[in-house]
A and B are shown apart, each in its own frame.
Chain A
Amino acid sequence: MSIETSRISRRTILRGLGVSMALPWMESLAPRVSAASISATPGMPRRMAFMFVPNGVHLPDWTPKNLGYGYDLPHILAPLAPVQDDLTVISGLTHDKGRANGDGPGDHARSASVFLTGAQPRKTEGSDIRSGVSVDQVAAQAAGHATRFASLELGCEPGRSAGGCDSGYSCAYSSNMSWSSEATPLGKETNPQLVFERLFGDKPTAGVRDQNAIRREALRKSVLDYIAEDARKLQSQLGTSDRQKLDEYLGGVRDVERRIERSDSEPKVSVDVDYPVPKGTPSDYAEHIRLMCDMMVLAFQTDRTRIATFMLADAGSNRSYRHINVPDGHHDLSHHGGNAAKHAKIREINRFHVAQLSYFLQRLKATPDGDGSLLDNSMIVYGSGLSDGDRHNNENLPILLAGRGGGTIDQGRHIRVADETPMCNLFLSMLDRFGTPVDFVGDSTGRLQGLRATT
């Protein structure tokens, strides 16, 4: 396929998907040679998404029997058949900091807060919440300036609105997995309509801006200047923990300022998204998840952001899955006590979630990006922070890594890493590939070997 025709078909397909656009990097960075064996384009931006499911999985129906290429797909993973060659099942990863380590019960809360941070959360109901900076935010803080939104945090459940969440841990630990600082969980958006409006609501206007637009922008900036000064004045009068809240506030102000400056300086990106605006939050759970997946695909496709996290449900969720004939609460079921009938129900819930992942991966794969697909240039992590929902163990976690990371990952395999290999080692390797290498993240001990088949 020549570059010319691939570009034309790309445009055509984009329109078919509901997006027509001209992105500057696409023109200037298009390769001169076609990469035949690796279906990815050097220089294309890479994307990362992290997806979380609660309560562990039924591992006997998750873990493939065979290692290497051509692995078998057990019951839970069966919906992934269409994208099997684009993902790797990684067995054996551990989140040690999800273990009690002296903090007692609260495995569910820990399983979410540790999932992307690899940090032991401080056990507290309400004062001085502490975790660590999550891997998505490490990347976002290093490279997020390249896009309109540094990152996107999505979910399907708005978090508990009353009562306790888990054994002495504030609900902040159960209902968030992105942390921009050790004390700042990033609340997630659960309404697809609001995600859409945020991403595409203020379309940059093409052409010459009139006096009114210039004045409006100036007034907006004067408001930002005013509130930033207010926050700084307050900071100088207040104590440490109060200052930190105002830091968060100022961080938000800077984000908005940066976005305004970007739209001043960046080459105009004209995006015309004619995807139907989602109407609120659908009551159908599958549709809700798929809409959120569509939002991630659209955001990646239009380069609104390159980093996303998505909690399909909050840690310890007791949601009922009656649409797949499992009316019981998920958390309640996950304490199966070895009961076969419960196992059977749990694996259906697990499979349902995986089917939604499959939808997402197929959408990414069907979306051209450079000479390949969005999936080729992405790294999608999917999994749970608990292994078995009954035992609440944090080793041998159920983890999938999809997408070729711009041709840097050999997909289509089942690999097993050494026992107790930190999950954060995978993150470290992903950050390398994302172009934001760091020396360590969370409790990482080194890079994860084996993402290339040769090593």
Chain B
Amino acid sequence: MIKSTFLALSAAAIILSPIGSVIAEDLAAPNQFTGTIVPFLQQHCVGCHGADSAEGEVALDRFTTSANVQKDYELWEKIIRLVNEHQMPPADEPQPSPEEVIAVSAAIEAELAAFDCSSERHPGRVTIRRLNKAEYNNTVRDLVGLDLNLAEDFPSDDVGNGFDNMGDVLSIPPVLLEKYLSAAMTIAQRVYEDKDARRRVIPHSPSSDEERVDVARRNVREFASRAYRRPLTSGEEDRLFAIMFAAWSQDADEAEIYQTVISAILSSPNFLFRVEQDPGPNDDDGIRELNDFELASRMSYFLWSTMPDERLMELASKGALQDPALRVQEAMRMLADPKARGLVDNFAGQWLQLRDVSRLQPDPQKFPDFDDDLRTAMRQETETFFETMIREDRSVLEFLNADFTYVNERLARHYNMTDVTGDEFRRVELTQGRRGVLTHASILMLTSNPTRTSPVKRGKWILENMLAEPPPPPPPNVPLLEEGAETLGSLREQMEQHRANPSCAVCHTTMDALGFGLERFDAIGALRDRDGRYEIDASGELPGGRKFDGAAQLMDILGEEKKRQFSECISKKLLTYALGRGLVSYDRCTINDAVSRLASNDYRFSSLVAAIVTSDPFTMREVMRDP
């Protein structure tokens, strides 16, 4: 279990470090704008997007000395995207070289990094979120004390930005509303049948007939307030009581009266949605600070994927959660709680895509050794590792280069480790060229095809999910790599041919090098030294000249040289998950802060969580602004 004192200490350290002390380094030297960006615009853009023609009402010749990022950041982000995707310049115009594209993107990125976070606040706005399936199940469990898992039967939640808790993406088709209603009735019935649950939902009983109405009201008020995660208004209480009264006047018995009102509460949008009020006319700059109860829900759904517990609600009712230091302290308490399993299941399960492990189907002919025990063990290894990162508050860089992992007998056999028996997972030292989660069988498998490895997929996955450097899509009309046909030589030789094409080489040099470093592991993550008739060559060179041979060396290099990129990546993923919305340009202020807090706190996981729960986007809400 977590040493709470240890966490409290690190929490204190985090609070002491001045918030927002780090301003984005001034990466955008003025000569970069005039030296790189302006010539590119002149050569490739202003012919159509100049003051005279301004196609799409975009005129770029007005930018001669500065990108004006404070005002025009959305335009610049769009320019980067379109140029990277080869959408602009249009195909029938002369095309910039791959090197030019990379240089201009980097220069614009540097300009955007100069966004001055102190000049204005932009917490952004989260669309009202309904509970997703995991949150619904957990919330019902904690509300009535019954683990019913009724959301298993709901339609699946769509994923956006890599996560299934995005307000905008979570819709409510009619079939879901039907399921909500029938689930609410089922819960109400089961609560009444189960003694403990009943005592939890209906704790007070009248000692005399005169008390009956008051006690009923009190039971309903308390339950609804917990279900809605805020105090009930008197109007709401009256309306709920009216339902009970109407049932009573129709000769319903007590069970039926309570079941009706419980169904109503559990089908209400106040239970199913996480409601946050928009800023009103009296809020400065259209920005409103969330109230305590809204904050309590943000914290609990972020760290636990469930409703706030009693302590959070009590703190909220005292107005204490407005204090950032206390929020951090509470966050540390919550991370130490078993309910933090919600963060493993839902954040790690989606960031590292462990949920996919359950649905992949490696080719049984090529991998006769693969079975469901191994599948389960693969997922559990990475989950247990993630849990350890939280529990021991370790450096997040260990996702890249940890020298330990967790195995049971089945997985140990897969890893050629001896002396591990039984189903229990235990901590072991990594050997045989493994380091960090990228060498876990789970991730090696989910970045492969059913029949073979794909160094490109692996490389792309690392860039997207670990280094925050998603490669741009391939230019249109470039033939895809013909991987795997043995007549053409080894996979590696084929890919090297592919890279002979300079427009491919630009991105594939990095992507492939990362993937090749992992080639000693097959499509289910087992060690190998041959691929068919070819000997494996897992050596490579990263841009910048660092050479490596095999995964262990590669991971050590990443852990040393990609600290910033990895910190940025995990911060972006965790903030997206915490907010339930995609990140936008001004969120870079929060990301910069999180990255610097990680760096100054030995990259401890808790410092990232602390940065998020004290950030503007997590604690405020902005009016919808015109795009």
Contacts and interface: CB of A to CB of B under 8 A. Distances in A.
Contacts of A227: 264, 267-269
Given A222-B246, A238-B128, A335-B480, A256 B178 contact: yes
B256 interface: yes
Interface stretch (A60-68, A229-237, A261-269, A374-382): A229-237
B277 interface: yes
A165 interface: yes
Contacts of A219: 246-247, 250, 252, 256, 260
Contact of B168 (A129, A165, A186, A248): A129
B620 to A, nearest CB: 15
A163 interface: yes
Interface string B431-467: 0000000000000000001110000000000001000
A417 to B, nearest CB: 27
Contacts of A153: 173, 175
Nearest to A219: B260
A328 B167 CA distance: 35
A435 interface: no
A241 B169 contact: no
Interface stretch (A167-175, A346-354, A441-449): A167-175
A339 B169 CA distance: 38
Contacts of B582: 124-127
B291 interface: no
Contacts of A251: 172, 174, 177
Contacts of A452: none
B169 A172 contact: yes
B268 A222 contact: no
Contacts of A188: 155
A170 B159 contact: yes
Given A163-B350, A172-B169, A189-B175, A194 B153 contact: yes
A185 B171 contact: yes
B361 A320 contact: yes
B173 A187 contact: yes
Given A161-B350, A222-B243, A226-B264, A242 B85 contact: no
A448 B269 CA distance: 44
B329 interface: no
Contacts of B260: 219, 222-223
Interface stretch (B352-360, B545-553, B559-567, B610-618): B352-360
Contacts of A229: 239
B20 interface: no
Given A170-B159, A328-B449, A126 B178 contact: no
Contacts of A416: none
A239 B623 contact: yes
B366 interface: yes
Contacts of B252: 215, 219
A129 B464 CA distance: 22
Contact of A176 (B158, B350, B354, B479): B158
A253 interface: yes
A382 to B, nearest CB: 23
B388 interface: no
Which of A171, A185, A211 is packed against the most chain B CB atoms within 10 Å?
A: A171
A172 B269 contact: no
B176 A187 contact: yes
B243 A255 contact: no
A183 B170 CA distance: 11
Interface residues of B, number: 82
Most interface-central of B128, B155, B251, B366 (chain A CB within 10 A): B155
Select the residue from B163, B169, B275 with max chain A CB neighbours within 10 A: B169
Contact of A163 (B166, B168, B356, B449): B356
A158 interface: yes
A237 B277 contact: yes
Contacts of A32: none
Interface in B167-212: 167-178, 180-181
A104 interface: yes
Contacts of A187: 155-156, 158, 171, 173, 175-176
A161 B82 CA distance: 28
Interface string B477-492: 0011010010000000
Contacts, number: 252
Contact of B363 (A215, A240, A327): A327
B70 interface: no
A238 B250 CA distance: 36
Interface string B60-91: 00000000000000000000011001110000
B118 interface: no
A102 interface: yes
Nearest to B125: A239
Contacts of B87: 100, 102-104
A164 interface: yes
A163 B128 contact: no
B181 A256 contact: yes
A337 interface: yes
B interface: dominant SS: loop
A332 B159 contact: no
A128 interface: yes
Interface string A324-345: 0001110010010101010000
A104 B85 contact: yes
A454 B272 CA distance: 55
Contacts of A339: 482, 485
Interface string A288-301: 00000000000000
A129 B160 contact: yes
B157 to A, nearest CB: 8
Contacts of A328: 363, 449-451
B361 A223 contact: no
B227 to A, nearest CB: 12
Nearest to B446: A163
B164 interface: yes
A127 B168 contact: yes
Contacts of B164: 161-162
A248 B356 CA distance: 30
A307 to B, nearest CB: 13
Contact of B449 (A194, A238, A332): A332
B173 A186 contact: yes
A184 interface: yes
Given A227-B268, A245-B273, A339-B482, A126 B166 contact: yes
Given A161-B159, A162-B354, A172-B160, A252 B174 contact: yes
A192 interface: no
B159 A256 contact: no
B449 A329 contact: yes
Interface in A159-207: 159-165, 167, 170-172, 175-176, 180, 183-191, 194, 198
A81 B50 CA distance: 61
Contact of A126 (B161, B464, B482): B161
Given A102-B87, A248-B171, A248-B172, A162 B353 contact: yes
A222 B155 contact: no
A186 to B, nearest CB: 4
Contacts of A160: 159, 356
Given A104-B81, A171-B169, A238-B277, 19 more contacts: A127-B160, A129-B160, A153-B173, A161-B349, A162-B351, A165-B159, A185-B158, A215-B251, A219-B247, A222-B247, A229-B239, A241-B127, A241-B128, A246-B128, A252-B174, A256-B174, A327-B363, A328-B449, A329-B449
11 contacts: A125-B162, A126-B169, A158-B155, A184-B173, A227-B269, A230-B269, A234-B275, A237-B278, A238-B128, A318-B449, A339-B485
**Closest 10 interchain pairs by CB?**
A252-B177, A126-B160, A187-B155, A327-B363, A170-B160, A104-B85, A162-B350, A242-B128, A172-B158, A171-B159
Interface of A: 100, 102-105, 124-129, 150, 153, 158-165, 167, 170-172, 175-176, 180, 183-191, 194, 198, 211, 215, 218-219, 222-223, 226-227, 229-231, 234, 237-242, 245-246, 248-249, 251-253, 255-256, 318-320, 322, 327-329, 332, 335, 337, 339, 341, 390
